[in-house]
Structure 1
Amino acid sequence: MKPWYEQSFGSDYMLVYKHRDWENAAKEVHQMISLLHLSEEARVLDIGCGMGRHALALSSFGYSVTGIDLSPSLLEEARRHDLQGAVKWELGDMRELPFDACAFDATVNFFTSFGYFSNEDDNVKVLRNIRRVLRPDGSFLIDFLNPVYVEQTLVPRSERRDEDTGLVIQELRSIADGWVQKEITVFHPQSKEAPREYLERVKLYKLEWFESRLADCGLSLEQLYGNYDASPYEAAKSPRMIMAGRAV
């Protein structure tokens, strides 16, 4: 059986996360990218770019942007929105980035596009690849969930109906063995078709893990924020861990 991240990021993913709008993506990028102090026309790699919301926002600010993702379906959607062909879209695995060493001035990793792999070495390999493709003193940004906040605020179950399709989306959330997972079921109440089921899992890596592994991989953590407004990180209250720094 394929791992969950090769099954879940398809056309239904775009339905499940339909509420993530493009306008908010632009606002998030504008705030976060200011933390990296990039020069005009900087070469930026969006790792796990998905439908391309953040990559296209980065491009609109004048950067030379490449977006990479493992999902052909999401990349197809990204290209559909990229009417001007502003971004280079690449199909690939974040553990083996298909780019030359020092190819980018900055890398970004938005909305918890990290911690997917059961083997910890695979997650560390992502960090090593970030360092490899960054030029010396290049900037990185990793936007990850805050495990403490997740554990305190997890909503076990939710259900909603998509007005356009009539499909019902059920989500069951749980934490076990250091992972937060979401079981997603998509179905139409009047259809005889079998429900479509997906699983999403993210390792609940804490700040101490990132501090240690980033340093081991040649990445210096210099800034830490708790949300997209660049508010200070508070372990018990912040919804995000937004980490920024440089290649050493």
Structure 2
Amino acid sequence: MAFTRCAGHHSDVRRPNHYCPIAAAVEALGGRWTILILYELLQGTRHFNELERGLPGISRSVLAERLRFLESEKLIVRTVEGQRRGYVLSPSGRDLRDVIIALARWGARWALTEPLPRQLDPAFLVWSMHHRIRRDRMPEGQTIVEFRFSGCNRRRVWLVWRKGEASVCLKHPGFDTDLVIDTNGSSLFEVWVNRVRLADEIRAGRITAEGPRVLVRNWAEWFDWPDLPEPETADLRRPVHWESAKEA
């Protein structure tokens, strides 16, 4: 496919020679990180450091370059909140919501394979979960949840619900923990993308909760679990628990 530079609007961006809406959309959304950045903004992330946190593996220079590109394409708008600069989606950026959700559903059904150990990032998972808090289901007052991940990526991450807002801490937040969720290997990751069922993982003891009975009973209702289709093949649906594989 031959490309040419357009005069006038977006003159610094290469365009396909044929006049086609799909080609134009692909060009506008091109680049490895572009759609992931838009997805984070759709989730409500607004600031540079938060975007970096929600995009494991991206460098600050690449993030800055992609944000400039999206701004030039009129998909995002830069904002100023006091001394903090932020980003929000423009009307055309918000209009991509259904497209991005459809892409996620297609990926869950056809492209999501067994997770590699390096893909199991506990901080990223809890960050994703904090975006989907169901405020009307959260306990009144302050609630501190400690997620303990065992297996190859042994780590602790805290979800802090305080003053009606959720935040994620990679170090102890300084408050007493109300509930501990212990997840074995890849279990909670695979539940989050609908590869396995939460009830089955709890029944098998791969996900456990420790704390007051009311919190243990209700914690799963605090999250709006992604509505993703199951993988299409039996092989893709087979759960993998990396600590077991490592021991073998």
* TM-score (norm: length of structure 2): 0.28
Q: Which has the higher strand share?
A: 1
The structure carrying a bigger helix percent of its residues is 2
Compute the TM-score of the two structures, normalised by the length of structure 1.
0.28
Higher relative contact order (CA 8 A, sep 6+): 1
* Larger radius of gyration between Structure 1 and Structure 2: 2
